[in-house]
Amino acid sequence: MKRIVNFNSFNVFTVEKETWDIEYHNHNFYELVIIENGKGFHHLNSITFPYKKGDIFFLRPSDGHEFSIKSKTKFIYIKFTEQYIWENLLSNKKNELKKVIQLLMEDHSFVCESVIKNKTDREHLLQLARILLYEFSHKNTYNKEITTDIFSGIMTIMIRNIMNASTKKWIVQNASRIERILYYINVNALDADKMKIENLAKEFMLSPNYISMYTKKQTGFSVQQHVMQQKIKTAEKLLLQSHYNISEIADKLGFNDASHFNKIFRAYKEMSPSEFKKKSVGKTVI
């Protein structure tokens, strides 16, 4: 996979393309990609999402991606490093928001669609991105302070949408223990080593027996059941939004083989993966 390297801690620019001409790649920086206009498909970590005007994608250094353009598309790129975030955003944020920003940068969830769902927020964020681009490009008096404030506003709007999304459980500073445990499982469900009960218990400074009983008592489901639920959610996305076959999906999700994956999937969804894919063609998995 090609790796694009950027030596600036913060950069904002715009590109308009009719055809995507950059091979599948990742970066050495974080990136926000805002769709100013146009439509097509975004291939992120081997999953395909449609994009349209107002969508915004948040990419971490390890994320691989490319676009397929259906109609001429204008992109606004905001590239930044972890050091820039620490020096310019986290220093003056409230503890709760600071915690969420850190989680956003560290969360390695398997896929990430456009992070903006609210219609009004989409419009506001697009306007802020245009203003940010202007201020960054023209270097007027106090432009550094203004760009920092605008970027902070963009990140805050983005976080508000993520926190309101029903598919995410974000930890705030006063989150309960069970919320922290469930968030950890949500993020790390595909990491077999982190999901070993002894390692999960160590993460929360609890005994393996206690964390198992506590999770079951608080939620009605065991740790293993929560892990499996996350795997099935990811399986649904991979079945509908990727080109992987059943065996490849089974391998990616840590099942013994395709037969084992079929058996577990049927137990949760009352149909086989193939039946689910056939029945759900044209629908979107949230």
Could you report the per-residue pLDDT of 55-67, keeping only the tens digit for each? 999 998 888 899 9
Between residues 199 and 285, the one the model is more confident about: 199
Domain ranges, ordered by start, for the chain: 2-164, 177-279
Assess whether pLDDT exceeds 90 at residue 11: yes
Q: Using alpha carbons only, give the angle 174, 188, 282 rounded to the nearest 5 degrees.
A: 105
Q: What is the mean pLDDT of the chain?
A: 84
| CATH superfamily for domain 177-279 | Homeodomain-like (1.10.10.60)
Assess whether pLDDT exceeds 70 at residue 76: yes
DSSP for residue 43: E
Same fold, 2-164 and 177-279: no
Could you report the per-residue pLDDT of 147-193, keeping only the tens digit for each? 999 999 998 898 888 766 544 444 444 456 787 788 788 778 888 89
| CATH superfamily for domain 2-164 | Regulatory protein AraC (2.60.120.280)
Residue 284: its pLDDT value, please?
42
- Bridge partners (DSSP) listed for residue 34: 56, 76
Spatial distance between the Cα atoms of 48 and 256, rounded to a whole number of angstroms: 26
CB-CB contact of 15 with 77 (8 Å): yes
Label residue 117 by pLDDT band (50, 70, 90): confident
Between residues 104 and 126, the one the model is more confident about: 126
Mean pLDDT throughout 226-241? 87
Residue 257: its pLDDT value, please?
92
Q: Is 34 helix (H, G, I), strand (E, B) or coil?
A: strand
Residue 82: its pLDDT value, please?
83
Could you report the per-residue pLDDT of 97-112, keeping only the tens digit for each? 666 676 667 655 545 6
